Amino acid sequence: MTELSHSTVMPTAEVPVAGRWRQLSLLGGTMLVDSTEASLVSSLFPLIRQSLGVSLGALGALTASGKIVGAFTGPFWVWAAQRWSRKSVLVVATGLWGVWGVAAGFSQTFAQLLVLYTVLAAGYAAAHPLITELIGDLFGGSSRGRAVGVVYGAVSLVSAGIGPLKGQLAGIDEGWRWGLWGIGAFNIVLGIALWIWFRDPGRGAAERQLADLDRATRDAHSKLTRDKVLSLLKIRSLVLLLISRLLSGHLLVGTFGVVFLVDVYGFSTQKAAIVLLPFGIGYFLGTLLGGVAADWATRRSPRHGLVAVLQAAQFVFALVAFFGTQFDYGSIALFGVFFALMGATQGVNPSVNRPMVMAITPPELRGAAFALYVSIFEAIAWATFSLGAGFLGDAIGLRTVFLWALVVLMLVNGAFLTLLYRPYADDVARVQRDLQARRDQALGHST
């Protein structure tokens, strides 16, 4: 195979979409509210346990139900967005769907809360695949990393900042209900804002080959069929990215970080929870750094740049996690520094892997690809690591679990990504050829 030019493999010429940053702010707000409400039940579970008289196992049931239902409804919402429109699905599923959060606040039994929270999570599963797909249509290849970094970073930073505010609800009688009512109502307001102000740019709007074609021509290939969805599994680099997601042991930090510091190094829960703020700030800075690095790497080495940045992030995380979890420093401040560094190296990932998925899939299949990547494979990884850490932590201790999951497995993940270099460049080139062929066909040119 002859070496393709950089412009063929990954075009760097930017195709600006009018009002793209304003549209991105609306999408980011939607993802933020969805993320906040999804984490509210976990953070206020002690109040729920006292109010409804349930055991600690009820928290596992709530969180697992949200992940499991999302694995089924995420792909459904992608199909619905193809059948109707992405804007209408987002307005309903991630905006007006907040009414189920309000209803959950009125739950009188755990069974009612479980059902209503599961329904709520079923709608919120639309957010990540559709919003990430839209970012790919709002921003071209040379700025997608920065756009993804801004969204994920802002969500992480604000979530970290409002974490203590959610904790203040503990001082209010039945405070968890007020939390669900308030965020649910705000989500409904945001859904109305999306309906009034959001403008879907259309699939392929930021692609160099398609940007100047009319929307009807660009949408001619947008019909989602079973064969098209199955064709995603024939994209070698996407399959490798999906497997890499299953090897992402760093997912444990956010869920078990606090209990790790309590059980292994003897900190109180209140003191251990302090590390969540530097972790969130680090994650925010990491997404911004990752976005800049991704866009720079794309321009510098269109064939291999993104893969190299993603691979480096896994190795650096493993190094930081080794020193940040396997030694007792006796100071929560020092642990806070390491958690900030772990957050930063983890935050690099979405700013790199999301643009990679966008680059290897045609515009009409990106939503389905992200449903696979986020709604299904990431959910499987999250559930597997969380359940596994719980059982193994009792058997061999969380310190050993963290050594294998955060250090050894992440080194394996980094080494595994070496397999991505050649197929990624080939898959990106294939998408670019297909888009150029569409353009030639639309303009009546011979290919």
The domains of the chain, with CATH numbers, are: 19-206 (1.20.1250.20), 234-447 (1.20.1250.20)
pLDDT at position 256 is: 77
Q: Is the dihedral of CA 180, 71, 238, 312 positive or negative?
A: positive
Distances in Å between the Cα of 151 and the Cα atoms of 65, 145, 156, 272 are 26, 10, 9, 27
Q: Can you give the pTM of this predicted structure?
A: 0.78
Burial environment of residue 271 by CB neighbours within 10 A (0 to 12, 13 to 18, 19 or more): middle
* Integer Cα distance of 441 and 444 in angstroms: 5
pLDDT at position 81 is: 87
Do 377 and 245 touch, CB atoms closer than 8 A? yes
Task: Please provide the average confidence, as pLDDT, over all residues in the chain.
Answer: 82
Looking up tokens 């898959």, which residue turns up?
427
* Integer Cα distance of 1 and 405 in angstroms: 39
Q: Which tokens in the block code for residue 445?
A: 């040119």
pLDDT < 70: residue spans in the chain: 1-15, 34-46, 55-60, 141-142, 160-168, 170, 210-225, 269, 390, 445-447
Do 358 and 144 touch, CB atoms closer than 8 A? yes
pLDDT at position 161 is: 66
Looking up tokens 């070698």, which residue turns up?
236
Do 369 and 232 touch, CB atoms closer than 8 A? yes
Q: Which tokens in the block code for residue 177?
A: 């209900």
Do 346 and 253 touch, CB atoms closer than 8 A? yes
pLDDT at position 3 is: 38
pLDDT at position 4 is: 42
pLDDT at position 168 is: 67
CB atoms within 10 A of CB 305: 19
pLDDT at position 11 is: 47
